[in-house]
Chains A and B, each alone.
Chain A
Amino acid sequence: MSEPGPAGRPVDVGGVPVLVSGPVGAEPAQLAAALSDTALSDTALSDTAPSDTAPSDTALSDPALSAAALSTAAGRAEGGPPAGDGRVGAALLALDPTCAAGSDETAMLAALTAAGAPVALVLCRAEAEPAWPHRLEQARTRLDPDRRLPVFAVSAALAAAGEPAAREALADLVRWCAAPSGTTAAVGSPGAPPSTESRRAEPAGPDPAPAPDPGRHRAERIAGARAGFTAARAELGADVRTGLRDLHRTAAEHCRGLRRLDPPGYRTWLTGRLQHWQCTLDRRSAGELDQIRAAALLGLPGGADPGEPFPPLAAADTGPEPALRPGAEDAVVLALGASAGLGLGRTVLTPLVSWAGFGVLGTLLTTVVGLALAAGIVIVRRQSARRAATLRWTTETLAAARAGLEQSLAARISAAEARLTAEIWNRTAPRCVQPSSERARPAAHAGTGEGA
């Protein structure tokens, strides 16, 4: 048995004795003190809490002992004495968020429920573990698979520090303690029959609470899934736009530094980046859709099988590489470049040739320099044309890739939505038809009380 917290004892919460128990990591004493303080400061409670209940000062250090005391108290209460002397109004099982619930918590819960007081599961110290919702869900699955107990998550430290949300959570718990609702049936071990005490403490009314409407739950799940798909559509669309815009910006910078022999390397680079981005998007979208599916199917019978794999996203097609073939425009550029080069050569070299007196050699030199300048101008012009063509090709390629990715993502999300909707329908459909209301009655009993 795990060390119980020092708070295996009833604490006065707005006039109601509440038993708080739990493993030491949940700090049940801290929870008890916070509940007491919150109840004292919450004046609204005085309207709902029974005022004639005397607080108990019994200090119990062991949950089993607590359970025995609770059983005695419950027996006395049923035997006739008015509620108020030592009777426990509610019981809380404090859960440690830094550790999975196990057999110790199951035993503690069994001890608490054996007394007949309404029990709630309270995840304490939510500030200690970022993944506390996951922990709480795990604990609930283990301790209360039928989901009949109310659950709370609180942080006494944050409430003491004045955090509004934490104070509100504690106040909610105090309100529940003042007027506890929910089942008192044994839930300690899945499938275990209810104990004598808990059966005795069950409400005597003939009508059980109405069974949860499967149609409403199904509609809620489908609505939740649709909201998730809408958000995923928007988020993934934004991811595609942002990613391809960044890639285009990087590609434009590459194009500006493009040299004459670079294009094949550039094409390989762009294709690699595009494929990498596509893989990232593929993984991200699969993760998002898995998350939506897991949330929508949470708690349904049939387990959390991974589902069918998603179809791959459409491969980005980079298209043919831009090719610059010599044409009339190039011939004109060549002629203009040659004449400009010759003119420049003559302008630059004529004074030098005249001064040096080179004669025919000077004319030859002028022509050579002029041709060299002409060739340079033509090369620069061709490189500029190549860069412009490559940039145009990049823009077209990325636009095509974006269209393809958006279409693939839309198809994937639509397919996932249709598949999930069908799965929710199938898994929430009634498993059998009860032939009579007498047969239906136990089923209604078993399905009562969605805890929180």
Chain B
Amino acid sequence: MGDVDEALRELHRARRAPLRIRVCGHPGVGVRTLAAALVTRFRVDARCGPLRDGCEQSGEDPAGDDLICQVLGAGVRGCDLRALARYRIPVLVVAGRADQRGGQVRAAALAGQAAARLGRPVYPVAALPGGARVDGDDLALLRGWAGAGVRVPALPAGFVDVAAGAERRRRAGLLHRYGPDGLSRLLAALAGPGGAELDAAAATGLLRAAGGLEQLVAPLHALGPAVRRRRDARFAAELSALAAAGPGRDRIELLAQRAGRE
């Protein structure tokens, strides 16, 4: 009976667990960055899909996943179309790396083109600034640079190339952490009026506002009922399987009936 109790506890835990999102997309479009940003911002269980057909797509059995977040690049690729046709669970489509499309207007236009092609909403997000967390050390360093007039050049690689040694490593680290656009925003904010009062929390908020991840809140809420139905169905199916195994059958069937009534 101990095993049955443990299995039941596990089923209940899985039913009440945080939203589990499988993040998929072509390599280089920001799959891992988006998964990390979703975990940071929404406290969900976001995992990257395994690699298949050159795309990081979901595996054959997405039974444990509540929904799939398909990350596009600037446009829709062939592997995106193939993957979207294959999915059987709720899907949220986002256009990644929106901060690298040459401005928000262009990013929104490209997402609009992709949405028109797919016939479903596509949300442009910049996961790198959207999931960033600015710490005090970075802010102090950036404040010093902003005071010295350091800016991210038009060709961002030049931001690192002008320095050497430890300074070069620091610059490369910050560029990698916040992205060219995020770093430009931070330096501009620190150099501008009110920059002296900008603390780490405000700097983090500044970047996150530019990331656009808030757009995902409404569609995630909208997908809630579908996710709940899937979880209930999965719970009932697993209860049935557990009951069929033998021990504690009456109790499990009672639970299944109660779950069905809910």
Cα distance A208–B71 in the bound complex, in angstroms: 45
* Shortest Cβ distance from B26 into A: residue: A102
Cα distance A1–B155 in the bound complex, in angstroms: 30
B175 close to A102 (CB less than 8 A): no
**CB within 8 Å for A98 and B74 given contacts A103-B79, A127-B155, A130-B160:** yes
In the complex, chain A residues whose CB is within 8 Å of the CB of B165: 235, 238-239
One digit per residue, 1 when the CB lies within 8 angstroms of any chain A CB and 0 when it does not, for chain B 90-126 equals 0000000100111000000010011001000000000
In the complex, chain B residues whose CB is within 8 Å of the CB of A161: 154
Check: A25 CB closer than 8 A to any chain B CB.
Answer: yes
In the complex, chain A residues whose CB is within 8 Å of the CB of B155: 126-127, 155, 158, 163, 165-166
In the complex, chain B residues whose CB is within 8 Å of the CB of A165: 155
In the complex, chain B residues 127-177 whose Cβ is within 8 Å of any chain A Cβ: 154-157, 159-160, 164-166, 175
B73 close to A99 (CB less than 8 A): yes
* Shortest Cβ distance from A4 into B: residue: B75
B73 close to A98 (CB less than 8 A): yes
Cα distance A125–B156 in the bound complex, in angstroms: 11
In the complex, chain B residues 46-105 whose Cβ is within 8 Å of any chain A Cβ: 53-55, 73-79, 97, 100-102
In the complex, chain A residues whose CB is within 8 Å of the CB of B55: 102
Check: B44 CB closer than 8 A to any chain A CB.
Answer: no
Check: A144 CB closer than 8 A to any chain B CB.
Answer: no
**Min C-beta distance of B150 to chain A, whole Å:** 15
Cα distance A417–B157 in the bound complex, in angstroms: 28
B73 close to A130 (CB less than 8 A): no
In the complex, chain B residues whose CB is within 8 Å of the CB of A23: 73-75, 77
Check: A96 CB closer than 8 A to any chain B CB.
Answer: yes
**Min C-beta distance of A290 to chain B, whole Å:** 14
**Min C-beta distance of A239 to chain B, whole Å:** 7
A129 close to B78 (CB less than 8 A): no
**Min C-beta distance of B23 to chain A, whole Å:** 15
**CB within 8 Å for A96 and B74 given contacts A130-B160, A157-B102:** yes
Cα distance A85–B156 in the bound complex, in angstroms: 42
In the complex, chain A residues whose CB is within 8 Å of the CB of B27: 99-100, 102
Check: B29 CB closer than 8 A to any chain A CB.
Answer: yes
Check: B182 CB closer than 8 A to any chain A CB.
Answer: no
Cα distance A129–B102 in the bound complex, in angstroms: 11
The answer, among B26, B54, B75, B159, for a CB contact under 8 Å with A130, is B159
In the complex, chain A residues 70-127 whose Cβ is within 8 Å of any chain B Cβ: 96, 98-100, 102-104, 107, 125-127
Cα distance A107–B79 in the bound complex, in angstroms: 13
**CB within 8 Å for A25 and B73 given contacts A3-B113, A99-B29, A130-B180:** yes
B159 close to A3 (CB less than 8 A): no
The answer, among A26, A27, A102, A129, for a CB contact under 8 Å with B54, is A102
The answer, among B73, B79, B113, B117, for a CB contact under 8 Å with A96, is B73
**Min C-beta distance of A422 to chain B, whole Å:** 29
B156 close to A127 (CB less than 8 A): yes
For this complex, 16 residue pairs linking A to B, each with C-beta atoms less than 8 Å apart, are A3-B75, A24-B113, A25-B101, A27-B102, A100-B28, A125-B102, A126-B157, A127-B154, A128-B100, A128-B101, A130-B180, A158-B155, A161-B154, A163-B154, A166-B155, A239-B166
- A residues with a Cβ closer than 8 A to B are 1-3, 23-27, 96, 98-100, 102-104, 107, 125-133, 135, 155, 157-158, 161, 163, 165-166, 235, 238-239
Given contacts A25-B73, A104-B78, 15 further A-B contacts (CB under 8 A): A24-B110, A98-B100, A99-B27, A99-B29, A99-B73, A100-B27, A102-B26, A103-B53, A103-B78, A104-B77, A126-B155, A127-B156, A130-B160, A132-B157, A163-B155
